[in-house]
Chain A
Amino acid sequence: DVKVTQSSRYLVKRTGEKVFLECVQDMDHENMFWYRQDPGLGLRLIYFSYDVKMKEKGDIPEGYSVSREKKERFSLILESASTNQTSMYLCASSLYYSAGVGSNQPQHFGDGTRLSIL
């Protein structure tokens, strides 16, 4: 079974802090993704990566950055946390990149990190 592990289930940070969310997958997947999920807005893609050191912006990248130094690890960074970044953050991974991002392989999600910015 695919295992996607997010470093924290719950996290509370203060406005202006730099926040790191970590994600590790154990299935040698090429693609990795970061989403946030908010009531009424659904899942929104923040950033994705299809290879080590590669990254691409999703639909809502503002205020975030990412790092992928190793194939199994994909980090999301909130450069200066703000209250509107309070959300559930979900990491996902999928097998190889073909015609597009995860275009024909399912994405597998971690348990999520519920982040509160005070």
Chain B
Amino acid sequence: QKEVEQNSGPLSVPEGAIASLNCTYSDRGSQSFFWYRQYSGKSPELIMFIYSNGDKEDGRFTAQLNKASQYVSLLIRDSQPSDSATYLCAVTLRNSGGSNYKLTFGKGTLLTVNP
């Protein structure tokens, strides 16, 4: 079974700290990785995405890929209370026949940033 796994949390960090969110995936052939933020009662909002060719930094957010260990991380520097949300990881996984890819979402990690 192809899977994307996230720790459900809650992950609690103080304001100003670095929040580190991790996501493991089962398909060594995966090449596209996405992070979404979802506030309670709202729809997922794309934060950033990376491909297998490297990490990416965008403002306070950094996405890092470790292909050997098959996990992708999202780092949030200088965490703010407004960052409190559920963070969804999504990875393209091959189907059982290996001929097609599908975007598969993890169940999300709840992040709480305490003032």
Contact = CB atoms under 8 A, between A and B. Distances in A.
Chain A interface SS verdict (over half): loop
Interface stretch (B12-20, B63-71, B76-84, B96-104): B96-104
B57 interface: no
Given A103-B32, A103-B92, A108 B46 contact: yes
Contacts of B43: 90, 109-112
A104 B45 contact: no
Query: In this complex, which of A43, A45, A101 has the most chain B Cβ atoms within 10 angstroms of its Cβ?
Result: A43
Contacts of B34: 106-107
A41 B32 CA distance: 22
Contact of B103 (A41, A102, A111): A102
A17 to B, nearest CB: 24
Contacts, number: 55
B46 A101 contact: no
A9 B114 CA distance: 30
A42 B101 contact: no
Contacts of A112: 42-43
B92 A90 contact: no
A101 B42 contact: no
Contacts of A43: 44, 88, 105
Contacts of B105: 42-43
Contacts of A109: 36, 43-45
10 contacts: A90-B43, A100-B101, A101-B103, A103-B92, A103-B102, A106-B46, A106-B49, A107-B103, A108-B46, A112-B42
Given A100-B100, A104-B31, 20 more contacts: A41-B107, A42-B107, A43-B88, A90-B44, A99-B100, A100-B94, A100-B95, A101-B101, A101-B102, A102-B92, A102-B102, A102-B103, A103-B92, A103-B103, A106-B46, A107-B34, A107-B46, A109-B43, A112-B42, A112-B43
Interface of A: 40-43, 45, 90, 99-104, 106-112
Interface of B: 31-32, 34, 36, 42-46, 49, 51, 88, 90, 92, 94-95, 100-103, 105-108
